[in-house]
Amino acid sequence: MPKHQLEPKNWVQRYSDYLYNYTVARVNDSEMAKDLVSETFLSALKSMANFKGEASERTWLISILKRKIIDYYRKINSTKGKAEVRINYNDDSDGDWLEERVSDPFDTTAEDSLTNSELGDAIMHCLEKLPEKQAKVFKMKTILGYETDVICNELNITASNLWVIIHRARNAMAKCLEKNWL
């Protein structure tokens, strides 16, 4: 299997819309989503030497973005007793220490596995609380990655109806995850 290559000069054109949509669905704040995507690109540039090529560019960028989103929620929830993750760095800077250590999403630690397991359980718990149609649309679009036209044909709904349903489902999921996981 050939190794994937990084092409940072194409990142904004190829991935910014996807990363933005991914982020805004999770943070419900357009400006914060833009900031997190920008931070993701900067962190990726800093950690390019760690890219092993086992994952695609997009998968690697998403793995960095997910960590940015988790850090964002840790920071805003620190007043609720959630500790912000800090590390003593050689130069005591608040740099992007995590991304500098990240190579690929396949290079995970036990903490990553535990976090992913806890998040997975929280997502399933929150999915069960959604109305049936919202849950089905959310699973098909967000988890299974079905195309809009496939979902619309299977559920006999319009594209605009799909986006209303997915918007409501994402909002409900975000509130539920904030309450039950963060």
Phi, psi (degrees; rounded to nearest 5) at 55: -110, 160
The burial of 173, by beta-carbon neighbours within 10 Å (0-12 exposed, 13-18 middle, 19 or more buried), is given as: buried
Domains, the chain, ordered by start: 1-79 (1.10.1740.10), 115-182 (1.10.10.10)
- Neighbouring C-alpha atoms within 13 Å toward the C-beta of 135: 10
Residue among 32, 35, 64 at smallest CA distance from 47: 64
The pLDDT tens digits along the chain (182 residues) read 557 888 889 999 999 888 998 888 888 888 999 999 999 999 999 988 888 888 888 888 998 999 898 888 877 776 443 333 333 333 444 444 444 444 444 444 444 444 456 667 778 888 889 999 999 988 888 777 788 888 899 899 998 898 889 889 888 888 888 887 65
Separation between Cα atoms, residue 147 and residue 141, nearest integer Å: 7
